[in-house]
Structure 1
Amino acid sequence: MKQIIGDPKANPPIYGLLPMSKSSWWDGIKKGIFPKPIKMGPNMTAWRVEDIAQLIARLGAQCTGNADA
């Protein structure tokens, strides 16, 4: 998750692809806005690279007004 949303408190700070809070990220997942995670184990959650790439493309298209993306 840190690679996706970042962690400014890390040393050195990790700059995410989609800078937002954890609560905003999980809320977006709950609402179906962001892709659902894959549970890899009791303490490990991951997301498919393809899902994150599609999310970024969709959000970028919304920002530029390109509905075809």
Structure 2
Amino acid sequence: MESGPAIFAGVAFGLFGAALLVWTGVRVAHRAPVAAGVSPTAAVALTALSGAASLALGLWCLSRV
């Protein structure tokens, strides 16, 4: 009963993190801006860090099941 919320949170964080990393990679590969009005280097670094942190949090939640 208590593992249901952990599974939901893990899947949600994992999907978001993976999607953010894929989206950032595609934008960088096409040399398109990742964020409007921000330095390209800072935008890529911040979104990649956020995506990796979200993916790691999702994996951590799923490991606690």
Q: Same fold (TM over 0.5)?
A: no
Larger radius of gyration: 2
Per residue, is there more strand in 1 or in 2?
1
Write 1 or 2 for the structure with the bigger share of helix: 2
- TM-score w.r.t. length of structure 2: 0.34
In the superposition, the TM-score normalised over structure 1's length comes to 0.33
